[in-house]
Structure 1
Amino acid sequence: MRDGEFTETLDSLPAAGPSWRADPLADAAIARILGPGTGARAGSGDGPDMDLIALLNGQIARWRTNADLDGWRADAGVPAHVAAALEDYVRAARVLPGWADAGQLAGAERLFMDMSMMSVTLLFCASLPECYAVPDLAAVLHTAGQLEQHTDYRVRSTAAMIFPVMMRGGLSTPAGGGVAQAIKVRLIHATIRHLILRGTPQQAVAATDAVVDDASRSPRFARLPRLAPRGPSMQEALYAHGWDSEGRGLPCNQEELAYTLLTFGYVFLRAMRRLGVGAGHDAERAYLHAWNVLGHLLGIERELMPEDMEQAQALFDAIQARARDQARTPDPRPALGQALMAALQRYIPAGLLKPFPVLLARHLCGAAVARTIGLDGHVGRPARIAFALGMGLTRAIDRLARPFFPGFSLARLATRIVGYHFTVRVLMDQTRPLKLPDALLNQVDGVVRAWTHDPQAPRWMNALERRFTVRARAATTQG
């Protein structure tokens, strides 16, 4: 696949572009369950059926491991139309694509596990910040429960999907949980679309009165007005939010889904490169392949899945370039970015290290994204100097030492230490366990415990790392 194909896809006619495409399989399932909705013309309505949504959530909560999907049936007493829709959806959605490669999936799992605690640091300081850079994606996140006020929820929900996918056999074995988590998230995306549009994406397109602008050949969508929420729930907030499809495209559309996938695949690998610990060409392709398999399970179109870093960069840059022209007022992005950094800084000791998450996010994401998500505020000069000197010295020492000591990396050590504190205090807090089945949660806990030893590092570096991490684990266990 040529790099230019991605920008050609994004530059195609808006009526056919990825911003105006959703997920037919999942959208059809939700329409069968929740009904056709009031349609994009409606300015009012009775609001979402909260009892039916609660029933739906209860059923998909049973999708714990990949084995649970084999011959899955809805509970007795579930209305026939709901049961049939969910059972049909599971049968179709759980199937891996024919191009999935077991060897590359295993290679991606090894890379994620080899990076261990560093993976968590890159998730928090590169992937999630880049997620917030696209205005309409940030707007949905903002609406879905005021997430800048519930940052831990966003972080922990993301981890609850990533860990089952990237653990050994997550996408390829019955005991894994990656497929189950993916098709659950896919159906949640469709539910969000249905609530925001107060009906199906097809209804939103049909509301154009079949009028197409002669100049741009793009559809003229009806705007959904904002309503007064009928209750405090996230679902009622989404239903009442209102939406301008002509200006924004569909919510949770193909372009936004592809961009989100890139933040966890491409951005992760790019961050490794920027820290001087790049994975190598073959490992990078394997990692992108695994995320593309996940993308298939999430309902993302194959044409929006890059196979190497060059293609990924082309697509990522094209989407971000379009996003720069889509600024919203008020802009939800700074609040989301600042809330994420504030949540991380709670676990950093006072002093020069306190601004470390912000400075690392600036380094990994770049000045433009940092400015977009509100991370360009004042940081004291001593902290900035210490960070710059530390990064420079780390890269220089790593470059000099690696030919003689292949496992030596100060950058890896530093990001592992930070990642350990984030993992133990945010993800593995025993008072707030991740929302995963017990079997998967035990697997995650075992993985995190194994991460306390870096097999690539010399013995003395592991000893140094333990001095900075063992107290964090002890403090959390006691709490």
Structure 2
Amino acid sequence: MHDPVASADPRYRADPPADDTIARILAGLDGEGRYEAIAVVNREIAAWTTNGVLDGWRASPATPAHIAAALEEFVHAARVLPDWADPARIGAAEAVFVEMSMLSCTLLFCASLPECYVPVDLASVLHTAGQLEQHTDYRVRSTAAMIFPVMLRGGLTAPDGGGVAQVLKVRLIHATIRHLIMRGNPAAVMAGGETGATLAELAPKGPGLHRALYARGWNVPQHGLPINQEELAYTLLTFHYVFLRSLRRLGLGLTAAEEGAYLHGWNVVGHLLGIGEPLLVRDMAAAERLFARLQARGRDAANGGALPYGAPDPRPALANALMRAMQDEIPLRLLKPFPTLLTRYLCGRTNARELGLDGRVSLVSRALFALCMGAVRGIDWLVRRVVPGFSISRLVSRVLGYRLTVKLLMDQTRPLKLPEVLLNGVAQAVQAWHHDPKAPAWMNRLELRLRPDTSSTSRKQG
């Protein structure tokens, strides 16, 4: 792999293998026939629960022949790891995720997801695809539905892991969204050189997400293709680079070898997700450069008129919905602003302002947060000189991450339920994360007292 190059504009490239698969499935269909075929696809890919299931996978007998053939050919080709994938480094990446445990969840909620909303074009698609300011569960749970299977032990390499299967599901969902928004195969538009194509907004013919996407309208010169290569690469960076950068900002940075392994593991995910190799980065310096360039271009889209005249910026609604979801799980009123304040700290002032997270927070809460961050960093630095495993920052992040994981991911009374196989994986991870092996015994006891009681957490199918 090498640093990204600007040989071709990634905004006008998507994922031909996945796009061609969906185009084959939907060819010649319109109206209800289109949505019925998509329902068949969703039913079939729901059976992709583990990597082992993909070996020799065949569609169910009731599946129309052309849909079965398209899906089977896609699975056969797309499930293979790249030849540069290193199982040892993938294992090291999994070890980082497991070792960071609940801290990984805190950084997902307070860094990766907020940064994902900064490019206005991507936020606009996310807004349409889930009305996410009203249904934050969708974004949180669908994101977790990929991260956990990918990063848990054996997620990418073991037959009983679920990472490859989950990534391929996401890849076809992306292709379906692109096909609906573009009202056909995106590659057909670009092959004709029609970069000036603009699809007018239509009145949705009935309720539902798929009809809303089809009627949405799209301006290719301003937006590029929906969920294009650049946006896919940027999203991947929020999962590995932003995570590693956040650890550094919390004073919990990893070694260069650990950071490189984590980037490598996610690069394998990027390959499976259909991201071209030039947009995969192998070290933090290259990741920082690419992230800055892509985020600047995504930010400039808003200032350059990417939003239709008079349309509201979707980013503040998305970000504030995420903050409210976290605040709802914090019992003390004084501490409720902490997720917003932590997001500001991890993502920076500019991003916080564009996400609408720069609103007024009580002076007491701000002072308490600043005092806590300063004291924690200072105490951690001092005590770790004598007790290497000591970290108050780690303790606080684990407690917050535990609460958010239990309440936002494992509670099956929420509208979007996790598949049972994934829920079991998350539950097993939570059980394994009860004890921090790097912390002194008294800190583990304190953490246990601060965590919410999971015995009452509902996992019933609501």
- Structure 1 length normalisation: TM-score? 0.91
Question: Structure 1 CA distance, aligned partners of 2:180 and 2:459?
Answer: 42
Structure 2 equivalent of residue 123 of structure 1: 108
1:52 maps to 2:37: yes
Q: Contact 1:424 / 1:472 at 8 angstroms: preserved in 2?
A: no
Structure 2 equivalent of residue 448 of structure 1: 430
Structure 2 equivalent of residue 342 of structure 1: 324
- Residue 438 of structure 1 and its aligned partner are, at CA, apart by 3.7
Q: Contact 1:65 / 1:174 at 8 angstroms: preserved in 2?
A: yes
- Residue 468 of structure 1 and its aligned partner are, at CA, apart by 0.7
Matches within 5 A, 1:125-164: 125-164=110-149
Q: 1:246-277 CA distances to partner (integer Å, 9 max, x unpaired)?
A: 11100010000000000000000000000000
Structure 1 equivalent of residue 16 of structure 2: 24
Question: Structure 1 CA distance, aligned partners of 2:17 and 2:66?
Answer: 16
Number of aligned pairs?
Answer: 453
1:365 maps to 2:326: no
> Aligned Cα RMSD in Å?
1.7
The correspondence for 2:364, drawn from 375, 378, 382, is 382
Structure 2 equivalent of residue 476 of structure 1: 457
Shift of the 465–161 alpha-carbon distance from structure 1 to 2, 3 Å rule, reads same
Q: 1:5-43 CA distances to partner (integer Å, 9 max, x unpaired)?
A: 43x42xx5xxx3000001111011011001167xxxxxx
Question: Structure 2 CA distance, aligned partners of 1:376 and 1:132?
Answer: 15
Shift of the 69–349 alpha-carbon distance from structure 1 to 2, 3 Å rule, reads same
Structure 1 equivalent of residue 25 of structure 2: 33
Task: Report the residue type matching 1:473 in the other structure.
Answer: T
Task: Report the residue type matching 1:413 in the other structure.
Answer: L
Question: Structure 2 CA distance, aligned partners of 1:157 and 1:464?
Answer: 32
Matches within 5 A, 1:56-455: 56-206=41-191, 208=193, 219=195, 221-327=196-302, 328=307, 329-432=311-414, 437-455=419-437
SS for the counterpart of 2:333 is: coil
Task: Report the residue type matching 1:98 in the other structure.
Answer: D
Question: Structure 2 CA distance, aligned partners of 1:85 and 1:121?
Answer: 39
Question: Structure 2 CA distance, aligned partners of 1:324 and 1:444?
Answer: 34
SS for the counterpart of 2:342 is: helix
Shift of the 443–17 alpha-carbon distance from structure 1 to 2, 3 Å rule, reads same
Shift of the 46–429 alpha-carbon distance from structure 1 to 2, 3 Å rule, reads closer
Question: Structure 2 CA distance, aligned partners of 1:478 and 1:313?
Answer: 40
Question: Structure 2 CA distance, aligned partners of 1:322 and 1:22?
Answer: 17
Structure 2 equivalent of residue 40 of structure 1: none
Task: Report the residue type matching 1:66 in the other structure.
Answer: N
SS for the counterpart of 2:374 is: helix
SS for the counterpart of 1:326 is: helix
- Structure 2 length normalisation: TM-score? 0.95
Q: Percent identity?
A: 60
Please, which runs of 5 or more residues in structure 2 have no aligned partner?
A: none
Q: Contact 2:130 / 2:138 at 8 angstroms: preserved in 1?
A: no
Q: Contact 1:48 / 1:235 at 8 angstroms: preserved in 2?
A: no
Question: Structure 2 CA distance, aligned partners of 1:431 and 1:352?
Answer: 27
Question: Structure 1 CA distance, aligned partners of 2:393 and 2:144?
Answer: 23
Q: Contact 1:69 / 1:90 at 8 angstroms: preserved in 2?
A: yes
Question: Structure 2 CA distance, aligned partners of 1:440 and 1:148?
Answer: 25
Shift of the 48–126 alpha-carbon distance from structure 1 to 2, 3 Å rule, reads farther
Question: Structure 2 CA distance, aligned partners of 1:430 and 1:458?
Answer: 34
- Residue 477 of structure 1 and its aligned partner are, at CA, apart by 5.0
Shift of the 295–334 alpha-carbon distance from structure 1 to 2, 3 Å rule, reads same
Shift of the 36–394 alpha-carbon distance from structure 1 to 2, 3 Å rule, reads farther
Task: Report the residue type matching 1:22 in the other structure.
Answer: A
Shift of the 60–477 alpha-carbon distance from structure 1 to 2, 3 Å rule, reads closer
Question: Structure 1 CA distance, aligned partners of 2:354 and 2:388?
Answer: 38
Q: Which moved more, 1:320-329 or 1:386-395?
A: 320-329
- Residue 434 of structure 1 and its aligned partner are, at CA, apart by 7.5
Task: Report the residue type matching 2:382 in the other structure.
Answer: L
Task: Report the residue type matching 2:265 in the other structure.
Answer: A
Question: Structure 2 CA distance, aligned partners of 1:227 and 1:176?
Answer: 42
Question: Structure 1 CA distance, aligned partners of 2:415 and 2:297?
Answer: 38
Question: Structure 2 CA distance, aligned partners of 1:182 and 1:86?
Answer: 14
Task: Report the residue type matching 2:43 in the other structure.
Answer: G
Q: Contact 1:223 / 1:243 at 8 angstroms: preserved in 2?
A: yes
Task: Report the residue type matching 2:390 in the other structure.
Answer: F
Q: 1:353-387 CA distances to partner (integer Å, 9 max, x unpaired)?
A: 11010000000000111111111111111111110
